[in-house]
Amino acid sequence: MMGAEPRTWGAAESVAGLIAAGAIFVGALELVYRPFRLAPAALLVALVAAVMSREQQRLVMLAIAVIGVCFVIGAGLAVWLDRPLY
């Protein structure tokens, strides 16, 4: 029985995955700390991860979605709770 060969990733793909995970973490921080400061930084980190690897594109797209959703919710919470946006 022939199975699919295991995929091996290079160092760039692994680092791109870690960078995309870092972008998700920074995006989640937008919920509690100044979303207008963190959103551009998180998007820049996700862009670096997207340029580094083609294998991690789904994780990068997930990171961009999390950043966008957390930005909207974080900005709404900041306005509602009278906290600074930037």
Dist CA 68 CA 86 (whole Å): 16
| Angstrom distance (rounded) from CA 35 to CA 56 | 25
Give me the mean pLDDT over the 46-52 stretch: 94
Specify if 6 maps to a domain. Answer: no
Domain residues for the domain of 51 are 13-80
2 domain residue, yes or no: no
Tell me how far apart the alpha carbons of residues 42 and 54 are, in angstroms, rounded to a whole number. 19
Q: How is residue 26 written in tokens?
A: 């920074």
Q: Which residue intervals of 1-86 are DSSP H helices?
A: 11-29, 35-52, 57-80
Tally of structural domains, the chain? 1
pLDDT for the residue 45: 94
Mean of all residue pLDDT scores within the chain: 91
- With tokens 């199975």, the residue in question is 3
> Is residue 19 a part of any domain in this protein?
yes
Residue 73 lies in a domain: yes
Q: Is residue 67 part of a domain?
A: yes
Per the domain annotation, does 7 fall within a domain? Answer: no
Whether pLDDT at 5 is above 90: no
